Amino acid sequence: MDSAAIIALLQKNFALDPQTAKILVVGLGNTGISVAHYLHSLDFKFAIIDSRAKPPMMEEFFQQMPDTPVFTGGFDEAAFKVATHLVVSPGVSLNEQAIIKAIANGSKIVSDIDLFACSVDKPIVAISGSNGKSTVTTMLGEMAKATGIEVGVGGNLGTPALDLLALNAQLYVLELSSFQLERTSTLNAAAATVLNVSADHLDRHLDIAEYAREKQRIFRGDGIMVINTDDPVVYAMYNNSRNTYTFSINAKADFHLAYQGDTEYLMHNESCLMPLAELPLEGRHNAANALAALALGVAVGLDEQVMCNALRKFKGLSHRMQRVAEIRGVTWVNDSKATNIGACVAALQGYSRKVILIAGGDAKGADMNELAPAIKEKAKSVILMGKDANLIKQALHDCVPVYSANTMTEAVQIAASLADVGESVLLSPACASLDQYKNYQDRGEKFTKAVLALVDSFPLASASLSQRVPHNHRTTLAERS
């Protein structure tokens, strides 16, 4: 789309006129910088504000746009008073008092996704959910590439949506968080899904019902809905008046699992697409992710067999059920991206044999009692660390042995002392990471480093890892109290 057409849509939908609009971009992170570049390219007047005294990307931004007004060190209400429009980054809550007052005084909220939706005339696939959205987004991107389509993949994952405009792609695949969706009003995706809904971000959302309502905003418009019939909260979003594809790993659906003889297949109605065993990802929940990606791909016209070939080559994402190593018969799996209960439960349910679980961090207000049944069923023992370790311990009611660790290295050493040949050690924290780490990637990398250090620490194949761990590490929390 050319600039004139984009500006016409912005004027129609948001009264955004380059001559009169005074836009305040709230947050100088990746999203904020992408918005700044976009507004600058269309000659809009704007300023940026950030509550941090020195945002990490400020120097880089000043080099790129030295004449742009930037306010830091707090939310000065004077900057908000003159703004006709606010573009609030997803990391900033709309419940900030300065934002609430600005909206009450007539400022309009516009999201980066709104700006993006007004700037493309090619199909958009939108993907949300508590768990699996990064995997499905990446899967679908790889499927589209395999068909020869120029595809832009980003949003909440990787590249900010507005930066994808430089690609002039034929198809856009966006991962969208609840924070992005709550401030988006014009997205009309050609195909969209909410993969699942479980307790997450309750430190920002009032309750899980509000969280689900924000997720459901992804279905605004008239595109094809892709619905997970295994999730009752998602299934309640079903709309009989809309063109809809369903997927399930537990029952028959448009995309489902079924046996043909002794082989279990990914199915599209009655057609066998590929054997499940050819999907190179751990955990049955990844079968659901693959079915969702196939449904979305079919919705936008991608060839099924080309998509299946792409699935056969798909190795998964870093920090998401990523096999780190097998050491002396013990498999070590990094699922650091499991930052909520639902992701941890999904990871545990993918195992037929009980695992040693490393969990804990910042629970973000979630009810840890919801984690207990899966741990009781699937965990041999649990090693807890981080800010809300005690909340998880209390929720478990001694249903499994519980161990305490202050660092990831200590957690890995304890796990090594407990694991027997043929077992798995799973880092799947069920919590956010910022209480101890820069982000979930940093947490996963610390886990990987500690696991690989075992090889150097215990070089003799005949030596038992459990013999090398100090005895006091094997004391349970209950025994210490």
Please indicate, yes or no, whether residues 258 and 166 belong to a single structural domain of this protein: yes
Residue 297 has phi, psi (to 5 degrees) of: -65, -45
- Flag the least confident range among 113-117, 208-212, 415-419: 208-212
Dihedral of CA 454/457/458/459: which sign? positive
Domain-ending residue, one of 95, 110, 125: 110
The band of 218, judged by pLDDT with boundaries at 50, 70 and 90, is: very high
The pLDDT value recorded for residue 318 is 77
Tell me the average pLDDT across 115-137: 95
Please indicate, yes or no, whether residues 363 and 457 belong to a single structural domain of this protein: yes
* Residue 98: CATH number of its domain: 3.40.50.720
The pLDDT value recorded for residue 402 is 96
Domain of 35 in residue numbering reads as: 3-110
The band of 56, judged by pLDDT with boundaries at 50, 70 and 90, is: confident
Tell me the average pLDDT across 237-266: 96
The pLDDT value recorded for residue 86 is 97
Higher pLDDT, 210 or 271: 271
Question: Annotated active-site positions, please?
Answer: 133, 156, 201
Please indicate, yes or no, whether residues 105 and 120 belong to a single structural domain of this protein: no
Neighbours of 230 (CB within 10 A): 17
The band of 206, judged by pLDDT with boundaries at 50, 70 and 90, is: low
Tell me the average pLDDT across 369-380: 94
* Residue 130: CATH number of its domain: 3.40.1190.10
Neighbours of 169 (CB within 10 A): 19
Closest CA to 139 of 345, 285, 3: 285
- Burial class (CB within 10 angstroms; exposed 0-12, middle 13-18, buried 19+) of 455: exposed
Of all residues in the chain, the percent with pLDDT exceeding 70 is 93
pLDDT of 178 strictly over 50: yes
Please indicate, yes or no, whether residues 142 and 258 belong to a single structural domain of this protein: yes
Please indicate, yes or no, whether residues 167 and 289 belong to a single structural domain of this protein: yes
DSSP string, 148-207: T--EEEEESSSS-GGGGGGG--SEEEEE--HHHHTT------SEEEE----S--TTTSSS
Please indicate, yes or no, whether residues 193 and 60 belong to a single structural domain of this protein: no
pLDDT tens profile 68-101:
999 999 998 899 999 999 999 998 989 899 999 9
The band of 202, judged by pLDDT with boundaries at 50, 70 and 90, is: low
Please indicate, yes or no, whether residues 104 and 121 belong to a single structural domain of this protein: no
Question: b/e for 357-370, b at 16 or more Cβ within 10 A?
Answer: bbbbbbbbebebeb
Tell me the average pLDDT across 268-286: 91
Long-range contacts of 408-411 (CB under 8 A, 24+ apart): 408/443, 408/446, 408/447, 408/450, 409/446, 409/450, 409/453, 410/385, 410/473, 411/358, 411/383, 411/385, 411/450
Domain-ending residue, one of 52, 80, 110: 110
The pLDDT value recorded for residue 306 is 98
pLDDT of 215 strictly over 70: yes
pLDDT of 425 strictly over 90: yes
Q: State the average pLDDT for the chain.
A: 90
Tell me the average pLDDT across 140-160: 95
The pLDDT value recorded for residue 219 is 96
The pLDDT value recorded for residue 470 is 33
The number of C-alpha atoms within 13 Å of 302 and in the hemisphere containing its C-beta is 35
Domain-ending residue, one of 110, 125, 148: 110
pLDDT of 464 strictly over 70: no
Tell me the average pLDDT across 114-124: 97
Looking at the DSSP bridge assignments, the partners of residue 272 are: 267
pLDDT tens profile 15-52:
999 999 999 999 999 999 999 999 999 999 999 999 99
Higher pLDDT, 346 or 148: 148
Alpha-carbon gap, residue 195 to 181, rounded angstroms: 15
- How many domains would you assign to the chain? 3
The pLDDT value recorded for residue 285 is 85
DSSP string, 417-461: HH--TT-EEEE--SSBSTTTSSSHHHHHHHHHHHHHHHHHH---T
Please indicate, yes or no, whether residues 152 and 280 belong to a single structural domain of this protein: yes
The band of 106, judged by pLDDT with boundaries at 50, 70 and 90, is: very high
Please indicate, yes or no, whether residues 164 and 59 belong to a single structural domain of this protein: no
Please indicate, yes or no, whether residues 353 and 373 belong to a single structural domain of this protein: yes
Tell me the average pLDDT across 217-244: 96
pLDDT of 270 strictly over 90: yes
Please indicate, yes or no, whether residues 98 and 133 belong to a single structural domain of this protein: no
pLDDT of 204 strictly over 80: no
pLDDT of 460 strictly over 60: no
Please indicate, yes or no, whether residues 133 and 30 belong to a single structural domain of this protein: no
Of all residues in the chain, the percent with pLDDT exceeding 90 is 75
